């Protein structure tokens, strides 16, 4: 096998790989920091479009073709097909591309695979939020000073390597920053922003921001440096720089440009409002302005943190934004989240607690100082139930026997999956440094420790719980049909399910008519509570190797459809292979007694134990927010849910007729946005099966 040649790899447009090869014998933090440096020095930049912010648009231009890239979740990603294509197009590169593919395969093999049965919605992902406010306040030049100071006193090789890597990375950022300035300078079309942008880029992000515009330019630069993940608590970070009377018009335009950048990169979550460090309401002029500037845009995913004293003008702005059809914002019960995070005993200081923000879809983390696996795993509860029934139902003499066996299977599967996940995380700490996040997230620089090796101030993992409603419905139907009404024997039920209800349609209809979760039915709701409590207990029993805990969540996005494929038929009449429920709420279309009944069912669950975020989808008629009375009822419904103990709720304002027309005439509905799991996306981007699941959601009227 030929030796890898960094010069050849650079010429072949593989800068990240070239940097890795230049440091093959170094410790991982130095290797990956140097790879980042080469990438920042050589990767193509997006085109400047004359707007108020740069970078802008896609982080990587469409024509970019690299086989190895930095990745904010997994450190790097690689595509063997791209490397093979380069080898085929340029035979002189064949040896280098083959050697590079072999190296990447070796790197990948350093990390043991997790349990692949339980990855619903997540598979060792790591979203995060940089400490934007510190960069704005201090400038990256001060980061270099901190790294140099750390290097001077470092005594062990790993710590020295860490600080050497950070300084190498900062050198790369300087080159990238200079490239950004040249790209803007070369723009020749008319632009009212170009000169102001250049002046701002001369100041930030290496020096402190002095104005609102400079602060937002720096915020945008850091967002792109981090790989376009989460904007975080933007209203709180930017407000100290905001002069409402002077900045209003410019702020509107620049915030809109930033939202376009997040959308272009399919970016993630931004929390607004909530609570200040001294316990006061954290709503300000920017909270409202950001809500209004994001109207009609499907990203970022806006998380509005709702206190009991949230001002009416914020409610109005939220309703106006939601009425634009973008599914934004989602609503979060501030007091319940603060209490739930305290109950979780994560060691969060009072000043940091109020900085909580969902990352990725909406996995609970702390802005600027946390490393949260999000989502690290996803437990497929219906799959565990189907397997448990296949083993135990035929000989299950009582329903209690079946439940005992199922709960034992749940505990065993969760323990096994989390143990394997811990092995994965431990290996990642050894082999997968994350230099950019080690630079941008506190307290990695202070500790001289990589982000993936426990350098962040807080380290925990959010894991997903999928299909709770499916399991509750199935257990309720089994209890009623087999053990109460004796419609068939346990063995006969097992045979009917194994045959996917073929030739048993009358029985299936009877099973479908049994009580379903989401209708304020105490019997089935009690089963949901029993299973949820057992799952949360099993998750809590396994400590996270990073030093924190595993936090349960219910965050289903597109994967709720594919997660149903391996699951056989269930006793509630669910057919084999069909989608699971899409959130902590009922199976799509089964909540038929109105929104209040559905909310009562959900709030019977111990939701605060699922503080990773229990997403709840609720679909309202599109006209709901078109009148002041409708908006008032919408506000009352949200407040009532929170008063009952709800944590999170998100609304889709959609009419069935519009959705059905979009199925057959997608070109007429290119801007149609729906909520899926913890975020919004375009209806046309969904698979046909997912589109049908959105359509069959119950449409509530308030």
Q: Measure the CA–CA gap between 417 and 410, rounded to whole angstroms.
A: 11
Question: Does a structural domain hold residue 630?
Answer: yes
Q: Where are the alpha helices (DSSP H) in 479-610?
A: 490-498, 505-512, 522-540, 559-562, 595-603
pTM: 0.94
CA distance to 40, 221, 290, per residue, from 107 (Å): 21, 30, 42
Domain boundary among 78, 109, 140: 109
DSSP annotation of 397: -
Assigned token pair, 700: 């509530």
Residue 609: partners with Cβ closer than 8 Å, 6 or more residues away: 340, 343, 532, 533, 536, 540, 552
Instruction: Work out whether strand 356-359 and strand 363-366 pair parallel, antiparallel, or are unpaired.
Output: antiparallel
pLDDT at 120: 78
Q: Measure the CA–CA gap between 361 and 378, rounded to whole angstroms.
A: 14
Contact in structure between 134 and 125 (CB atoms under 8 Å): no
Q: Measure the CA–CA gap between 385 and 186, rounded to whole angstroms.
A: 61
DSSP 656-667: HHHHHHHHH-GG
Domain boundary among 54, 84, 109: 109
Contact in structure between 322 and 625 (CB atoms under 8 Å): yes
Domain boundary among 75, 109, 143: 109
Residues of the chain with pLDDT under 70: 1-2, 244-247, 557-560, 655-656, 667-672, 674-680, 684, 687, 689-702
Closest by Cα among 256, 209, 203 to 237: 209
Spell out a b/e string for 371-389, using b for 16 or more CB atoms within 10 Å of the CB, else e: bbbbbbbbbbbbbbbbbbb
User: What digits encode the pLDDT tens for the residues 90-105?
Assistant: 999 999 999 999 999 9
Contact in structure between 194 and 175 (CB atoms under 8 Å): no
Question: Does a structural domain hold residue 74?
Answer: yes
Q: Where are the alpha helices (DSSP H) in 212-333?
A: 212-225, 234-238, 244-264, 285-293, 312-321
Question: Does a structural domain hold residue 125?
Answer: no
Which phi and psi (to 5°) does residue 124 adopt? 60, 35
Assigned token pair, 683: 């209806």
Question: Does a structural domain hold residue 170?
Answer: no
Three-state secondary structure call for residue 387: helix
Question: Does a structural domain hold residue 656?
Answer: yes
User: What digits encode the pLDDT tens for the residues 477-520?
Assistant: 999 999 999 999 999 999 999 999 999 999 999 999 999 999 99
Closest by Cα among 455, 234, 273, 230 to 364: 230
Question: Does a structural domain hold residue 690?
Answer: yes
Closest by Cα among 374, 379, 375, 300 to 679: 300
Q: Which domain holds residue 41?
A: 6-109
Contact in structure between 467 and 381 (CB atoms under 8 Å): yes
186 burial (CB, 10 Å; 0-12 / 13-18 / 19+) is exposed
| β partners of residue 70 | 76
Which phi and psi (to 5°) does residue 215 adopt? -65, -40
Question: Does a structural domain hold residue 499?
Answer: no
Helix count (H) and strand count (E) of the chain? Answer: 29, 15
Contact in structure between 70 and 36 (CB atoms under 8 Å): yes
Domain count, the chain: 2
Residue 667: partners with Cβ closer than 8 Å, 6 or more residues away: none
Closest by Cα among 518, 681, 538, 677 to 613: 677
Question: Does a structural domain hold residue 164?
Answer: no
């Amino acid at each position: 096998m030929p030796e890898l040649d960094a010069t050849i790899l650079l010429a072949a447009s593989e800068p990240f790989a070239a940097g890795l090869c230049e440091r093959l014998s170094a410790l991982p933090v130095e290797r990956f920091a140097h790879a980042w440096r080469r990438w920042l020095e050589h990767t193509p930049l997006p085109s400047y479009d004359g707007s108020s912010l740069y970078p802008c648009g896609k982080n990587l231009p469409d024509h970019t073709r690299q086989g190895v890239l930095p990745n904010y979740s997994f450190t790097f990603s690689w595509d063997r097909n791209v490397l093979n294509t380069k080898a085929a197009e340029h035979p002189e590169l064949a040896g280098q591309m083959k050697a590079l593919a072999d190296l990447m395969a070796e790197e990948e093999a350093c990390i043991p695979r997790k349990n692949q049965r339980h990855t619903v919605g997540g598979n060792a992902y790591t979203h995060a939020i940089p400490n934007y406010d510190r960069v704005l306040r201090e400038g990256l030049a001060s980061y270099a000073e901190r790294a140099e100071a750390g290097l001077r006193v470092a005594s062990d090789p790993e710590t020295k390597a860490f600080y050497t890597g950070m300084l190498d990375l900062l050198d790369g950022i300087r080159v990238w920053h200079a490239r950004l300035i040249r790209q803007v300078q070369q723009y020749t079309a008319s632009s009212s922003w170009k000169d102001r942008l250049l002046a701002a880029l001369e100041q930030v992000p290496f020096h402190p921001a002095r104005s609102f515009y400079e602060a937002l330019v720096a915020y945008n630069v850091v967002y792109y440096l981090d790989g376009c993940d989460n904007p975080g608590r933007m209203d709180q970070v930017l407000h100290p720089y905001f002069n409402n009377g002077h900045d209003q018009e410019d702020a509107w335009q620049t915030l809109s440009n930033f939202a376009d950048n997040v959308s272009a990169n399919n970016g993630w979550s931004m929390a607004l409002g909530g609570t200040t460090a001294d316990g006061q309401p954290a709503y300000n002029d920017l909270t409202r302005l950001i809500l209004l500037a994001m109207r009609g845009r499907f990203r970022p995913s806006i998380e509005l943190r709702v206190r009991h004293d949230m001002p009416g003008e914020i409610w109005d702005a939220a309703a106006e934004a939601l009425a634009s059809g973008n599914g934004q914002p989602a609503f979060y019960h501030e007091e319940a989240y603060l209490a739930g995070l305290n109950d979780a005993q994560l060691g969060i200081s009072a000043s940091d607690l109020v900085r909580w923000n969902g990352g990725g879809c909406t996995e609970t983390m702390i802005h600027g100082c946390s490393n949260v696996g999000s989502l690290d795993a996803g437990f497929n509860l219906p799959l565990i139930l189907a397997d448990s029934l296949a083993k135990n139902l035929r000989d299950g003499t009582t329903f209690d026997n079946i439940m005992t066996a199922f709960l034992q299977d749940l505990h065993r599967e969760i323990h096994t999956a989390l143990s394997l996940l811990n092995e994965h995380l431990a290996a990642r700490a050894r082999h997968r440094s994350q230099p950019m996040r080690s630079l941008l997230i506190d307290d990695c620089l202070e500790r001289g420790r990589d982000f993936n090796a426990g350098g962040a101030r807080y380290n925990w993992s959010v894991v997903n719980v999928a299909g709770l409603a499916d399991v509750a419905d199935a257990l309720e139907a089994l209890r009623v049909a087999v053990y109460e009404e004796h419609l068939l024997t346990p063995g006969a039920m097992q045979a009917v399910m194994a045959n996917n209800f073929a030739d048993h349609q009358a029985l299936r209809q009877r099973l479908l008519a049994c009580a379903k979760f989401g209708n304020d039915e105490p019997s089935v709701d009690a089963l949901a509570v029993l299973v949820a409590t057992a799952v949360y207990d099993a998750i809590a029993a396994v400590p996270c190797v990073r030093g924190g805990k595993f936090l349960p969540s219910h965050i289903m996005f597109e994967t709720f459809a594919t997660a149903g494929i391996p699951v056989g038929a269930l006793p509630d009449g669910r057919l084999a292979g069909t989608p699971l429920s899409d959130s902590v709420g009922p199976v799509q279309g089964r909540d038929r007694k109105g929104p209040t009944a559905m909310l009562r069912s959900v709030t019977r669950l111990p939701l605060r134990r699922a503080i990773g975020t229990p997403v709840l989808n609720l679909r309202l008629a599109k006209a709901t927010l078109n009148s002041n009375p409708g908006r008032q009822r919408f506000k009352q419904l949200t407040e009532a849910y929170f008063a009952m103990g709800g944590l999170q709720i998100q609304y889709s304002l959609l009419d069935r007729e519009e959705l059905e027309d979009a199925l057959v005439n997608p070109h007429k509905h290119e801007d149609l946005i729906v909520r899926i799991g913890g975020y919004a996306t375009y209806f046309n981007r969904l698979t046909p099966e997912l589109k049908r699941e959105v359509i069959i959601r119950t449409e509530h009227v308030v």
